[in-house]
Amino acid sequence: MPDATFSALPTTVFEEMSGLARAHGAINLGQGFPDDPGPEALRRKAAEAVLEGYNQYPPMAGLPELRTAVAGHYHRTQGLALDPMTEVVITSGATEALAATFLALIEPGDEVIVFQPLYDAYLPLIRRAGGTPRLISLSPPHWRFTRAMLEAAITPRTRFVVLNNPVNPTGVVVSHDDLTILAEVCVANDLIAVCDEVWEQVVFGPAVHRPLMAFPGMAGRCVKIGSAGKMFGLTGWKVGFVCAAEPLARLVAKAHQFLTFTTPPNLQTAAAFGLETGADWFRTMPRTLAASQACLAQALEREGFRVLRSSGTYFLNVDLAASGVGLGDRDFALLAVREAGVAAIPVSALYETEPVTTILRLCFAKADETLEAGAVRLARARDLAARPGGQPPAGRAI
């Protein structure tokens, strides 16, 4: 395991590209965060909770009011029946939920199936927990897995599969049929599914998010992970939820107690309020984002880019090869941020092996003027890439 130590890891592509965007004063369509301040009632609730509420350690597994609100929300929106006191644990963001889950459940030598492109935290955390990732590579434009791919990845040591749905960076919302296949494979091979569903509320009709936990045989073998930061467009809040059957939830809580022990109570109070009162927000937020996606997609198409639209998340993708860009995605992204003033995420950074190098991820959770300007700047980057020699400036930024 040559790359098992954290010291060998690169800085994440999100930090790298946001750092470059700041250094070059670029429009940042890279790292996924909205440019609007988020629901005011929630922010007020959090502020009030800081001023007038309880600011000491809350219970390790989360404030009862938030655990109850999480269970209620998933009952209303996804038909799940979770016991708030034994099947919901609050964590400091989905990132901590992932870390706690992997640390709690993986035993050295366990194999863990993951799909690439993948959210960048998975592999270092799985390895540090003693697991061995087994990668399944997905390809544009549909990014679908098949039963044959899953079965080919399974060995006698396979114990887990990690499913991110809706998928960052591809914007896919996994279909009922594909979830059925995955559930059947999990049941047949006695696998636990770690379901990173942080984007579950950011889904554009007609797509529908379905939790894998609701499929036959899956209730006792899923760890479902959510994030208030993503639900309410407040990405810095770092309030995560783990939902799982009691034996799994209890183990995850044990790992959580030695990671962060707890999560700021004021933000938990505000997240509970948001879940209890957020019906309008959950209806309007995806519509607003769908309009933003349309704005960016149309601006890019006007500039001659081939766009792969998404069914969920804050992201769409551009097929660089089909858009007249000869450079690889990373070189193009470096050129775009340094010389054309627009930051994006090269999707190759989210593969560990045999990367697809022709796809660029763009965040559309921004004002229309920003998106329009970003598209124009990306077209300028394409022109720069096509100049004689067309080479990007050498070297890494950080």
Q: Which stretch binds ligand PMP (CB under 6 A): 53-61, 76-84, 205-213, 233-241?
A: 233-241
Burial string for 295-321 (b: 16+ CB within 10 Å, else e) reads bbbebbeebebbbbebbbbbbbbbbbb
8 Å CB contact between 324 and 360: no
Here's the x/- map for ligand GLN, 145-174, by CB under 6 A: it reads as -----------------------x------
Here's the x/- map for ligand GLN, 27-46, by CB under 6 A: it reads as ----xx--------------
SS3 content of the chain, % helix, strand, coil (to 5): 45, 15, 40
Tell me which residues in 183-202 interact with ligand PMP (CB under 6 A).
196, 198
Cα dist. 321→52, 63, 172, 179 in Å? Answer: 55, 49, 20, 31
Q: Which stretch binds ligand PMP (CB under 6 A): 21-29, 87-95, 249-257, 335-343?
A: 87-95
* CB-nearest residue to ligand PMP: 93
DSSP 33-74: --SS---HHHHHHHHHHHHHS--S---TT--HHHHHHHHHHH
268 is a site residue for ligand GLN (CB under 6 A) = no
- Least distance from C-beta 18 to ligand PMP, angstroms? 12
Nearer to ligand GLN, 32 or 166 (CB): 32
Q: Which stretch binds ligand PMP (CB under 6 A): 41-49, 50-58, 90-98, 377-385?
A: 90-98
Q: Which of 13, 82, 89, 94 binds ligand PMP (CB under 6 A)?
A: 94
- Least distance from C-beta 30 to ligand GLN, angstroms? 7
Strands, E assignment, the chain? 27-28, 88-91, 111-116, 132-137, 158-164, 192-196, 222-227, 240-244, 306-308, 315-319, 342-343, 345-346, 359-363
Pairing mode, strands 240-244 and 88-91 = antiparallel
- Least distance from C-beta 151 to ligand GLN, angstroms? 30
Tell me which residues in 2-31 interact with ligand GLN (CB under 6 A).
12, 14, 31
Binding site for ligand PMP (CB under 6 A): 32, 93-95, 119, 164, 168, 196, 198, 227, 229, 235, 238, 240
